[in-house]
Chains A and B, each alone.
Chain A
Amino acid sequence: MPQDMPPAGGYEPVQYKRNLPVRGFRPGWYVVGVAGIMTYGFYWYAKGIREQHEIAREKVWSRIYIMPLLQAEEDRDQVRRYLADRAREKELLGKETSPYNSDRFVRPWFAATPKDHTK
Chain B
Amino acid sequence: MTARQPRFNQEVLIDTTPLPDDIPKVKEVGASSAPLMSASFFIGARCKSYNDDYMMCKHEANGRGELDCMREGRKVTRCAASVLEDINKHCIEQFRGHWKCLERNNQQMWNCRGPEIQLNKCVFDNIGLEKVIPGTPKDTIPIHLRDKQVFANPWRAYPVKRGQMPTLEEARTRAQEQAQPQQS
Contact = CB atoms under 8 A, between A and B. Distances in A.
B66 A65 contact: no
Interface residues of A, number: 47
B29 interface: yes
Interface string B51-91: 10011001000111111011011101100100000000000
Contacts of B55: 67-68, 71
A68 B65 CA distance: 12
Interface stretch (A16-24, A29-37, A79-87): A79-87
Interface in A91-119: 102-105, 107-111, 113-114, 117-118
Contacts of A118: 8-10
Nearest to B11: A117
Contact of A80 (B8, B17, B51): B17
Nearest to B30: A73
A98 B71 CA distance: 24
Contact of B36 (A51, A66, A108): A66
A111 B15 CA distance: 10
Interface residues of B, number: 56
A61 interface: yes
A11 interface: no
Contacts of B109: 55, 58-59, 62
B28 interface: yes
A81 B129 CA distance: 36
B2 A61 contact: no
A63 interface: yes
Given A48-B151, A66-B37, A83 B20 contact: yes
B62 A104 contact: yes
A105 B40 contact: no
A52 interface: yes
B135 A57 contact: yes
Contacts of B167: none
Given A65-B43, A80-B19, A113-B6, A75 B64 contact: no
Interface of B: 1-2, 6, 8-11, 13, 15, 17-20, 26, 28-29, 36-37, 40-41, 43-44, 47-48, 50-51, 54-55, 58, 62-67, 69-70, 72-74, 76-77, 80, 109-110, 133-136, 140, 142-144, 149-151
